[in-house]
Amino acid sequence: MPEYPRTAPRRTTGAPAPRRTSVPAPRRTGGAPRRRPAPRRRGTRRARAAGLARLAVCLTSAAVLLTSGVGWFAYHWLNNGLITSHALDALRDGAPRGRDGAVNVLLIGLDSRRDMNGNALPKEFVERELHAGSSEIGGYNTNTLILMHIPAGGGKVTAFSIPRDDYVEIAGGRGEHKIKEAYGLAKAEAEEKLVAEGVRGADLEHRGREAGREATLATVQKFLGVPIDHFAEVNLLGFYDIAKVVQPVQVCLKKPVRDRYSGADFPAGLQNLDARQALAFVRQRHGLDGGDLDRTRRQQAFLSSVTHKLKSQGVWGDVGKLQGLFDVVKKDVVIDDRWNILDFARQAPNLTGGNAEFHTLPIEGFATRKGEAVNLVDADKVRALVGKMIGGGSATASASPTGSGAGAGSGSGEASRSGSDGGSAGGGGGATSGASPGPVPSDAFQGPAVEMGGVPCVD
């Protein structure tokens, strides 16, 4: 069978190109005729390459449109219906300077037995499921305050739990009180003025809560000396609803506990908790050697267990699996209006796998102030310690803790605890603005750190 050239012959100098003639292709015996391949012209390869490039561009564009369409749908589905707050707007201008690209998120746990419109939750539900007594108690204290620092470009997340009874200066010229009371104090003040203006019902509740959030955010920001970029607020009902979606949650206790106040009744070791038990687990403080400080570590351990479970089940990377969780978030959680919750869901796996660590901020001792048992703190030392851990901070440590007469008490039982749980925080003196992170003594915080990424065993 004759062979035909794959390309046209080159011209010789001064000679005309040979005239192409039609040559019949040879036929196979007993088969279909074999066609002669047409000789390629100049530029054919370039044309084919251009065609392939156009095809690649089309396919890439289609993929981009598809993924951005899914992203757009997921973004709007997750954000549509979220309860948002403008509270951060009131303190952005006066916020301390943060490190470029890093994000600080404040988690607020509100000890309220009321729904978003201020209506009391059903008595039976509060008593039997939440095991939280009457709807009239608890008020609007923020019993959980956790600042999570997410460094720019990834890296280890550092979280700081603020003990709820820390005696600090409340924003707005309200004097010194327990930090948990900032929300309720500001809410009550705002509502008194709003009622005089004729505001009533759900609108009164919503606007009062906004004032409470603003005061809480401003107080924490000043106390820690770092900017707050985002926040999320959840009350007892919200915690219960979220726990129902993710139940059972595995936790670990070093020893058995039984507490009639919170309803906690657990053996030692690993165990799986339903929503009602989970709430009891994080609320128990009676019967624990460290009281509220041990309860703080319970909260940290529970967060670690939940994120570990969600990661192990592949929930963070699956919008479909996230739907049930975010349906609850839309109903029970308040976030700031500038937070892209979808972006956070994508970043959430970074908070697991041992890539996050919880610390409980130090106290100096216990005392009685205004008839209440409080934690005495050295605010300058706390700011310096936080700054040293995350690369910010502004103040040098002072010699005396907040509140005159550290550890003096008034003869109460609370004051006597300072010998066992108080003591110097250490490790915070001398840090200044812009200081780079450095080693921090292991005893700088209140008790041991809790690592995320598994099921920590706690008291």
> Taking the domain 85-362+444-458, which CATH number applies?
3.40.630.190
Per-residue pLDDT at 6: 43
SS3 114: strand
Per-residue confidence band for 391, with pLDDT thresholds at 50, 70 and 90: confident
226 Cβ neighbours under 8 A, 6+ residues apart: 96, 98, 104, 147, 149, 386, 387, 390, 392, 393
Provide the pLDDT confidence category of residue 124 given band limits of 50, 70 and 90.
Answer: confident
**Confidence bin at 453 (pLDDT 50/70/90):** confident
Three state DSSP letters for 329-341: HHHHEEEECCCCH
**How confident is the model at residue 323, as a pLDDT?**
75
Write down the pLDDT at residue 92.
76
Q: What pLDDT, on the 0 to 100 scale, is given for residue 395? A: 38
**Which pair of tokens denotes residue 397?**
């440590």
- Using CA atoms, how far residue 185 sits from 173, 222, 295, 370, in Å, is 11, 17, 24, 15
- Of 344, 105, 142, 303, residue with least CA distance to 235: 142
Task: Please say if the pLDDT value at position 41 is more than 70.
Answer: no
Q: In the prediction, which pLDDT does 347 show?
A: 58
pLDDT(432) > 50: no
Higher pLDDT, 80 or 42: 80
pLDDT band at 420 (very low <50, low <70, confident <90, very high): very low
Question: pLDDT confidence of 352, banded at 50, 70, 90?
Answer: low
What is the average pLDDT across 126-155?
82
Max mean pLDDT range (69-78, 135-144, 195-204, 307-316): 195-204
> Binning pLDDT at 50, 70 and 90, where does residue 425 land?
very low
Q: Region 379-398: what's the mean pLDDT?
A: 75
Q: Which residues is 147 bridged to in the sheet? A: 106, 160
SS3 24: coil
**262-317 tens-digit pLDDT:** 999 999 999 999 999 999 999 999 998 888 899 999 999 998 898 888 878 777 66
**Ramachandran category for residue 10: left, alpha or beta (phi over 0 → left; psi -120 to 50 → alpha):** beta
447: left (phi over 0), alpha (psi -120 to 50) or beta: left
Q: Are 369 and 376 in contact (CB under 8 A)?
A: no
The pLDDT of residue 40 is 54
pLDDT at 135: 63
Domain ranges, ordered by start, for the chain = 85-362+444-458
Residue type, 73: F
Bridge partners for 234 per DSSP: 109, 333
455 or 35: which carries more pLDDT confidence? Answer: 455
pLDDT over 60 (residue 94) = yes
pLDDT higher for 323 or 24? 323
Which residues are CB-contacts of 351 (< 8 A; sequence separation ≥ 6)? 148, 157, 307, 452
Confidence at residue 168, expressed as pLDDT on a 0 to 100 scale: 98
pLDDT at 254 exceeding the cut of 70: yes
Instruction: Report which of residues 221 and 392 the model is more confident about.
Output: 221
Mean pLDDT of 80-107: 83
Closest to 148 measured CA to CA, from 290, 371, 348, 353 = 348
Q: Which of 59-63, 306-310, 339-343 has the lowest mean pLDDT?
A: 59-63
Mean local confidence (pLDDT), 174-190: 97
Whether residue 160 has pLDDT greater than 90: yes
C-alpha 260/C-alpha 308 separation (Å) is 29
In DSSP terms, 107 is beta-bridged to: 146, 232
CA distance linking residue 455 with residue 452, whole number of Å: 8
Predicted TM-score (pTM) of the model is: 0.75
Read off the amino acid at residue 428. Answer: G
pLDDT for 9 beyond 70: no
For residues 308 and 354, the answer to whether their CB atoms sit within 8 Å is no
Residue 197 has pLDDT above 70, yes or no: yes
pLDDT higher at 84 or 420: 84
Written as one letter, the residue type at 301 is A
Provide the mean pLDDT of the chain: 76
Residue 166 has φ and ψ, to the nearest 5°, of -60, 130
84: CB partners within 8 A, 6+ apart:
334, 335, 336, 337
pLDDT at residue 16 above 80?
no
pLDDT of residue 48: 60
Q: What is the pLDDT of residue 326?
A: 78
Percent of the chain at pLDDT exceeding 70: 66
| Cα four-point dihedral sign 158, 159, 163, 164 | positive
Do residues 25 and 34 lie in contact, with contact meaning Cβ atoms separated by under 8 Å?
yes
